[in-house]
Amino acid sequence: LARIKTIKALCAEDREGRYMNEWVDGHIDLVCRAQLISTATRQAFTLIMVACFLVVAFIGRYYVVTGVLGLGELVAILTGIVLLAQEVQRAIAFVPSLQGFSVAVHRYLETLDRPVEPLEPDNPVPLPTTIGDLTFENVCFAYEGGKSLITDLSFSLQRGGFMAVVGLSGAGKSTLIEMILAFRQPTSGRILAGGASIYDYPLAQWRQAVGVVFQHPDLFHGTIKENVVFDRSDITDDHLAQAFRALGLDRLIESRPGGQHALVLEAAANLSEGEVQRLALLRTLFRAPQVLLLDEPTAALDAHSETAVMDLIQSHAAERITLMITHRMSLAFRADTVLVIGPEGVEGLGPPVRLYETCPLFKYMCLAQHVRPDSKARFTAGRTADDP
């Protein structure tokens, strides 16, 4: 159901219908086989117990007639057989449930055995009130058993600075965000914030100081307001309405019954991707993060909405450290510094105008999108330590 739009757009109803029918038929076949085996097992056991009962009764009759065994003793033996058969039948009926329980417990224990991310380092360092810089020192990263993805990356981004990260797909741009969020740790090197390793801070405190907008953000079950405000109960409806207008979301609010209190459906099915991106951006900005991470924040937006989003980000950029991953080279020229990542690692780091002249990959990506340097479009809220 979550992919029903894609299925209809591709006219794939018949194909997916056949797939679902095959899956349901296979599932029904397995269930029927299991029930058949279970029923056959119970019936076979019943026949065996009846046969045993009759054999014991026949032999017992002989012993009763000859005086070896009393009638009461024979009745007691037969009653014991019946009671034993009932208990064994209950045990047999319980076996399928026990097997299912065993599988569930095995999966549960597998989950518990997975390594847990440490919430507290061994010697935690207090997170500073103001994070003045974010620094990568000779950072390398490689997936386990794989080729090195990031090699010897070093840069320093100061508070108020804005860095754009560009490069070819699969070059490791999103991995930078995952490392800053402590989802992954570098193979070697250090990531510092405020003079200390980010892994020395209590994890919850560090992530509270970092805000992120993913390329495909998620909204939760609830109203539009609940998704944006999240845990900020001090935000008023007027403040929220002003923020909606700034990002061109006022028409969305006006068109929904209930306005800000309209319900977001499962998988945000009643919202466009651009609306979801902008709502997720507002949610992050309302948290007032000291480090703002943006992964393709305007990928689903038109030019007008993109300008509104970037203007809002820039208007508060002096208050934080901003790092943005983008494939739109026009946005790269808004940044103080651009980090260019190619197939072999870092291919350029510096102001975008200078990189246009010195970095072939950056210039190629700019020309492919018909983007040329424009000093008026450059971001000016802050500078990085790598700027000349």
Residue 94's contacts (CB-CB under 8 Å, 6 or more residues apart) are none
Reply yes or no on whether the pLDDT at 94 is more than 50.
yes
Query: Which residue has 């591709």 as its token pair?
Result: 10
pLDDT at 161 (0 to 100): 92
Reduced 3-state DSSP string for 245-271: HHCCCHHHHHHCCCHHHCEECHHHCCC
Query: Is residue 92 pLDDT above 90, yes or no?
Result: no
Q: Binning pLDDT at 50, 70 and 90, where does residue 352 land?
A: very high
Q: HEC states along 96-138?
A: HHHHHHHHHHHHHHHHHHCCCCCCCCCCCCCCCCCCCEEEEEE
Residue 210 CA to residue 196 CA, distance in Å, equals 15
Q: How sure is the predictor about 59, in pLDDT bands with cuts at 50, 70 and 90?
A: confident
Give pTM, 2 decimals.
Answer: 0.72
Show the tokens assigned to 228: 């944006």
The answer to which of 96-105, 212-221, 230-239, 252-261 has the lowest mean pLDDT is: 96-105
Q: Using the predicted structure, report yes or no on whether residue 272 has a pLDDT greater than 70.
A: yes
CA distance linking residue 86 with residue 69, whole number of Å:
25
**Token output for 193:** 């914030």
Rounded CA gap, 382 and 153, in Å? 22
- Output the average pLDDT for the chain: 83
pLDDT tens string 179-197: 999 888 899 999 999 889 9
Domains with residue ranges and CATH for the chain: 4-113 (no CATH), 133-219+271-377 (3.40.50.300)
pLDDT tens-digit series, residues 120-146: 777 888 999 899 999 999 998 888 777
With contact defined as beta carbons under 8 Å apart, do 215 and 208 qualify? no
